[in-house]
Chain A
Amino acid sequence: MSQSVFTKLKQQEKKEEEKQLGSHPVQPKVRSKLSNKVSDNLDTLKNAIGNPEDLNLRYISIGKLQKKCGIAYLSGITDTNMINQDIIQTLQQNLKEMEGSPLENVKLEMIAVSSVAELNDMKEIINLVLNGQTVFFLEEEENALVIGTSGGDKRAIEQPQSENLIQGPREGFVESLEVNLALIRRNIRDPNLRFKAYEVGTRSKQKLVLCYVEDVINPQILEEVIYRLESIELEYITDVSQIEQWIEDSSLSPFPQMLGTERPDKVAFEVLHGRFAVLVDGTPFSAIGPVVLSDINKSMEDYNQRWITASLLRILRVIASLIALFLPGVYIAMVLFHPGMLPTTLVFSIAASREGMPFSAIAEIFLMAATFEMLQEAAIRLPRIIGQTIGIVGGIVIGEAAVSAGIASPIIVIITALTAIASFCSPYYSVAISFRAVRFGVMLICALLGLFGLILALLVLIIHVTNLKSFGVPYSFTVLPAVKQDMMDNIIRGPITKVEEQYIFLQDELKDPNKQRNE
C-alpha cells in the first residue's frame, strides 16, 4: 500500500530504459543537415517517409528571383486553399526586387501565413510535415521554412453524446485538439489559463495538453501530474482514458481516479476550481483530476438548476448508487438468511411467487443479473440500425418470458430492473460500469454470509476508499473527514452565493508523494 502500482510501473520502466537506451522505434537513417540543393532535400524527405501516396512535392519559382524552390506537404491533413493562395500564389506573383538574404525576404514579405519557422534539421522537419505543416526549400539555402498549414477535415462541433444536460451549453469536444482548446479558451478568458503541451505516443506523436489555471491549482498536484505525464510510454493513444490508466494511483481500484468528460464547460468549471484536465489529440474526451468520492456523483446539471432541486437530485443519485451496489445483495441476504426481517406479508408474497421455481434464489438472481449485463453489452455493440431489436428481445426475455416460463420469479425481475435503473443514474459511464463489478462481488459475499457478509463488504469498501488516493489527494475527502468549507458543494449543492469559488480540499498542503519516494 505504501507503494502505488503506478510507482512500481514507473520504476520498472526506468530500469528497462537504462538497459536499452532508445526504446523508440527505429527511425530511418536520415542525414540531419539540409543540403543547399532543393532536389536533394526533397528526395531526402521523400525517401525518409517512404514516398507515400499523400505526399505532394512541387517545384516553383519566385517571380523575379530566378531561383529554384520547392514545397512539400501531405495532402489531407493540410489546408490546401491556404497552400495554393497564401504560399504558391504569392510567391509566383512576386515582382519586388530583393535585398539581402532571399530566404529572409520570403519569410518576412511573401508568405502570407501567420506561423512560419526557420529550421535546418531534417528530422524535425519530417516530424512537422507529418503534423500537417508545409516545408519550403530554397536553392542555395541551408535553412528551410516550415509553414503552419495544418488543417483538413474535422468533425463539426456537436452535442456531447455521453453526457446529456437539460439545461446548459450544447457544445461538445471534437477529435481535433485545436478546436477543443479553443472551446476551453472561449469559456475562460483568463491570462492564467495554461495549456502545457507534451508529445505522447512513440510512433503516433500525438499532442497532449495539460490544462490548468496557474494561480488556482495546487503546485504540488501540478508537480505530481507533470511527473507522471512525463513517464508515459505508449505507441499510440486511442483515447485519453489510456493516459488516465497510465497515470492513476491505483489500478486495482474499482473507483475512477480521473473523470472523463466531453463537455468544455465541465473542463472549464473544474479547472477554475483547482483541478487539471488532460486533453489528447484524436479524442473528444478529456480527463479531469484529482477526483474524490463525492465527485462521481456530480453532474454539471446541478449547477444549472436551482439549489434545492440540485441538492435533491444529488441525494437521489446517492440513493441510486447505494441501490445499484447493494440491492441484489440485500435481497439475497434477506431471502436466504433473514426472512424474519422482512414484513410477514412480503415474506409470504415472495414465497408464493417463488413457489415451483426450479432454481434457488441465488441461481435465479445471478442468472437474471448476468442476462441483464449481456443485454447491456449487446446493445452497445450492435449497429444502431438493428439496435432496437435488442430492446424488444430483452424486454420480452427479462420481462415476460422468464416469468411465464417459470424460470424467474416476478420479484427477481423487479430487483434486476430497479438495479439497472439505479445504475444508469450515475452521471459518469465509467463509474456505472465499475459499480457493476462491485455489485457482483457484494452478491457473492451476501450469498455466503448474509447480512454479516453485507456489512463486511461495506466495511471493505469504506476502508478501500479511505486508503485510496487520487494524485496524492485522499479519495474520501469532503466526506470522511468532511471539509467544512466544501460542505456547500458536496452531497448537497448549496445556494450559489454560499459555494466556494475553489475547492478548499485541493488547496491544502499536501505531502509530496514524489519526495517521499526519493527519500
Chain B
Amino acid sequence: MRTVGYADGKISNITILTIVPSIVIAVGILTYPRTLASQTEGADGWITLLIGGAVCACSTFLIAKIASLFPGQSFYTYTSSMLTKPIAILLSMLFFLLTITIVSYETAFIANISHHYLFEKTPSEAINLAFLFVVLYAVCGERVAIFRTGFGIIVLTAVATIVLVITALPSADWNRMLPTFTTDFKSYLGELPNSILSYSGVFVLFFYMKLTRTPSKSVKSAVIGAIAVTGFYITVYLMCIAVLGNVSTANTVYPLVELANMVRSIGFLDRIESLYFVIWITTVFMTTVIAYDISVLIITDIFPKANKIFIAFCLLPFVYFISLLPTDYYQVSDLGMIIGYAAKCLTIITLVFLWIMYWGKGRKGKRGKS
C-alpha cells in the first residue's frame, strides 16, 4: 500500500511548518510596523526584524529539538521525567494560564478592531461570543482538522499578502526607504524587544511535537516555518514604509490595513481594506484556536481520562470573562505586551531548565555507560 499516511492523528512535516506561522502571525502583524517605525529611521526597522527573526528561529530550533528528543511524549511527561513532577505541573499550569490569556487577548483584539473597521453599533460582547463559539467549535473537533484548517488559512493569507504587495507596488516610492542605516545603536537596542515580541508563540511546539510522525525531521520544518515568518514580516514592513512612508506608518494604528486601503479599485470593489481585514481575522482566528487547543491539551496531558469537549466548554466562561476586561485599545495592547513578555520569559525559563537537565543527565548517562 502506498502511504501518504493519514487519519491516524499524526501530523506531517509540512503541517509543522504551517503551524509556526499559524501561531506566530496574529494580531501583531497589524500593529508591529507602527511600533517599529516609530523608533527607527527610514526602513531601518528591517534589521531589528531580522534579528528578531533569527532569535525566533533559534528558539524554534531549541524548542523543537528538545521536544523531538522525547518522541511521542507529551510536555508533561518529559518535563516530569527531567525536572520532577511538581515543577512539571507548575510549568504546565503557567503555560495553561498563558494560553488562556492569549485566547482572551486575541478575542478582545478582534472585537476592538471590528468596532474600528466593520461596525460601530454591534456590542463587542456579542462579537466576542460569536467568535469564541466558532473557536470552540474548532477545538471540539479533531486536532488534525485544526491543522488542516490552519494550512488552508496560511495559504490564503500568503496568497492575499502576495497579491497585496504586488498591487501596492505601483504606489510604492522607494525613496522613502532612504536614507539607510541612520538609526543609532541605542534605538535599535530599544526596539529589539518589540521585534522579538512580534515573533512570540513558538512555544506551542513544546506540546505539538509529540504528534509528528518523524520528530527529527520536523525540527527542520519548524525552523523553516520560522524563517518564512521572518521573510513575511520583513516584506510587509518594507512595503508599509515604501507605500506609506516612515512617518505615517508610525502614526497609523493599523498600518497594514492602511496599506490595503491604498490599493484602490481592483475589479468592482472600491475599498478592499475590509476584505483584507477579514482575511487577517482568519489568521488571528487560527492563533486563537491553537492557543485554546493547547490549553485543553495541557489539561488532557495531565489528566489523560478527562473529556476534551467537556474541558473546552468549561474554559469558555473564563476566556469570555477575561476577554471582556480590557475596555479600550490601549488596555488591549497593554495586555498584549504583558502576554508577549510572559510568553518569552516562560519559554526561556523552560528551555534553559530542560536543556541544562538534558545535558546534565546525558553526561551522567554517558559516564554510567563507560
Which A residues lie at the B interface, using CB under 8 A? 1, 218, 337-338, 340-344, 346, 449-456, 459-460, 462-463, 466-467, 469, 472-474, 476-477, 479-481, 483-484, 504-505, 507-511
Q: How many angstroms between the C-alpha atoms of A143 and B8 in the bound complex? A: 55
Contact B118 A451 (CB under 8 A): yes
Q: How many angstroms between the C-alpha atoms of A343 and B14 in the bound complex? A: 40
Contact B268 A337 (CB under 8 A): no
Q: How many angstroms between the C-alpha atoms of A220 and B120 in the bound complex? A: 54
Task: For the complex formed, measure the closest distance between the CB of A220 and the CB atoms of chain B, giving whole angstroms.
Answer: 10
Query: B151 to chain A: which residues have CB within 8 Å?
Result: 480-481
The 10 tightest CB contacts between A and B, nearest first, are A466-B145, A467-B141, A466-B148, A467-B145, A343-B270, A480-B148, A463-B138, A511-B8, A455-B278, A480-B152
Q: How many angstroms between the C-alpha atoms of A218 and B6 in the bound complex? A: 14
Known contacts: A472-B7, A507-B1. The answer to whether A451 contacts B274 by CB under 8 A is yes
Q: How many angstroms between the C-alpha atoms of A455 and B275 in the bound complex? A: 10
Task: For the complex formed, measure the closest distance between the CB of A340 and the CB atoms of chain B, giving whole angstroms.
Answer: 6
Chain B, residue nearest A343 (CB): B270
Contact B265 A343 (CB under 8 A): yes
Contact B148 A343 (CB under 8 A): no
Contact B7 A342 (CB under 8 A): no
Contact B7 A473 (CB under 8 A): yes
Task: Assess whether B318 is interfacial by the CB under 8 Å rule.
Answer: no
Chain B, residue nearest A477 (CB): B6
| Of B86-94, B127-135, B244-252, B326-334, the one with at least 4 CB within 8 A of chain A | B127-135
Q: How many angstroms between the C-alpha atoms of A472 and B142 in the bound complex? A: 13
Q: How many angstroms between the C-alpha atoms of A82 and B151 in the bound complex? A: 64
- 24 A–B contact pairs at CB < 8 A? A1-B140, A1-B309, A340-B274, A341-B271, A341-B274, A346-B268, A449-B126, A449-B127, A450-B122, A452-B281, A455-B281, A455-B282, A459-B149, A460-B137, A466-B141, A466-B149, A467-B142, A476-B148, A480-B148, A480-B149, A507-B2, A508-B2, A508-B5, A511-B9
Known contacts: A1-B309, A452-B118. The answer to whether A505 contacts B4 by CB under 8 A is yes
Task: For the complex formed, measure the closest distance between the CB of A338 and the CB atoms of chain B, giving whole angstroms.
Answer: 6
Task: For the complex formed, measure the closest distance between the CB of B143 and the CB atoms of chain A, giving whole angstroms.
Answer: 10
Task: Assess whether B35 is interfacial by the CB under 8 Å rule.
Answer: no
Q: How many angstroms between the C-alpha atoms of A382 and B146 in the bound complex? A: 46
Q: How many angstroms between the C-alpha atoms of A31 and B259 in the bound complex? A: 87
Query: A338 to chain B: which residues have CB within 8 Å?
Result: 118, 274
Partner of B145, one of A218, A450, A460, A463: A463
Query: B275 to chain A: which residues have CB within 8 Å?
Result: 341
Chain A, residue nearest B138 (CB): A463
Task: For the complex formed, measure the closest distance between the CB of B287 and the CB atoms of chain A, giving whole angstroms.
Answer: 13
Query: Which residues 96-138 in B have Cβ within 8 Å of A in the complex?
Result: 114, 118-119, 122, 126-127, 130-131, 134, 137-138
Query: B146 to chain A: which residues have CB within 8 Å?
Result: 463, 466
Contact A337 B137 (CB under 8 A): no
Task: Assess whether B285 is interfacial by the CB under 8 Å rule.
Answer: yes
Task: For the complex formed, measure the closest distance between the CB of A402 and the CB atoms of chain B, giving whole angstroms.
Answer: 25
Q: How many angstroms between the C-alpha atoms of A257 and B269 in the bound complex? A: 36
Query: Which residues 233-273 in B have Cβ within 8 Å of A in the complex?
Result: 265, 268-272
Which B residues lie at the A interface, using CB under 8 A? 1-9, 12, 14-15, 114, 118-119, 122, 126-127, 130-131, 134, 137-138, 140-142, 144-146, 148-149, 151-152, 265, 268-272, 274-275, 278, 281-282, 285, 309
Contact B270 A462 (CB under 8 A): no
Interface centre among A342, A451, A476 (most CB of B within 10 A): A451
Q: How many angstroms between the C-alpha atoms of A338 and B138 in the bound complex? A: 27
Query: A337 to chain B: which residues have CB within 8 Å?
Result: 118-119
Q: How many angstroms between the C-alpha atoms of A476 and B7 in the bound complex? A: 11
Q: How many angstroms between the C-alpha atoms of A495 and B301 in the bound complex? A: 49
Query: A341 to chain B: which residues have CB within 8 Å?
Result: 269-272, 274-275
Q: How many angstroms between the C-alpha atoms of A459 and B289 in the bound complex? A: 11
Contact B122 A462 (CB under 8 A): no
Query: A466 to chain B: which residues have CB within 8 Å?
Result: 141-142, 144-146, 148-149
Q: How many angstroms between the C-alpha atoms of A442 and B275 in the bound complex? A: 17
Contact B152 A343 (CB under 8 A): no
Q: How many angstroms between the C-alpha atoms of A408 and B152 in the bound complex? A: 38
Q: How many angstroms between the C-alpha atoms of A453 and B9 in the bound complex? A: 30
Chain B, residue nearest A339 (CB): B270
Contact A340 B118 (CB under 8 A): no
Chain A, residue nearest B286 (CB): A459
Task: For the complex formed, measure the closest distance between the CB of B137 and the CB atoms of chain A, giving whole angstroms.
Answer: 6
Partner of B119, one of A1, A452, A480: A452
Q: How many angstroms between the C-alpha atoms of A483 and B14 in the bound complex? A: 12
Q: How many angstroms between the C-alpha atoms of A451 and B138 in the bound complex? A: 20
Task: For the complex formed, measure the closest distance between the CB of A334 and the CB atoms of chain B, giving whole angstroms.
Answer: 9
Interface centre among A454, A474, A504 (most CB of B within 10 A): A474
Q: How many angstroms between the C-alpha atoms of A346 and B281 in the bound complex? A: 27
Query: A344 to chain B: which residues have CB within 8 Å?
Result: 270
Q: How many angstroms between the C-alpha atoms of A305 and B146 in the bound complex? A: 37
Q: How many angstroms between the C-alpha atoms of A477 and B5 in the bound complex? A: 12
Q: How many angstroms between the C-alpha atoms of A55 and B114 in the bound complex? A: 75
Q: How many angstroms between the C-alpha atoms of A341 and B12 in the bound complex? A: 40
Task: For the complex formed, measure the closest distance between the CB of A516 and the CB atoms of chain B, giving whole angstroms.
Answer: 10
Task: For the complex formed, measure the closest distance between the CB of B269 and the CB atoms of chain A, giving whole angstroms.
Answer: 6
Query: A507 to chain B: which residues have CB within 8 Å?
Result: 1-2
Task: For the complex formed, measure the closest distance between the CB of B254 and the CB atoms of chain A, giving whole angstroms.
Answer: 16
Interface centre among B131, B148, B278, B309 (most CB of A within 10 A): B148
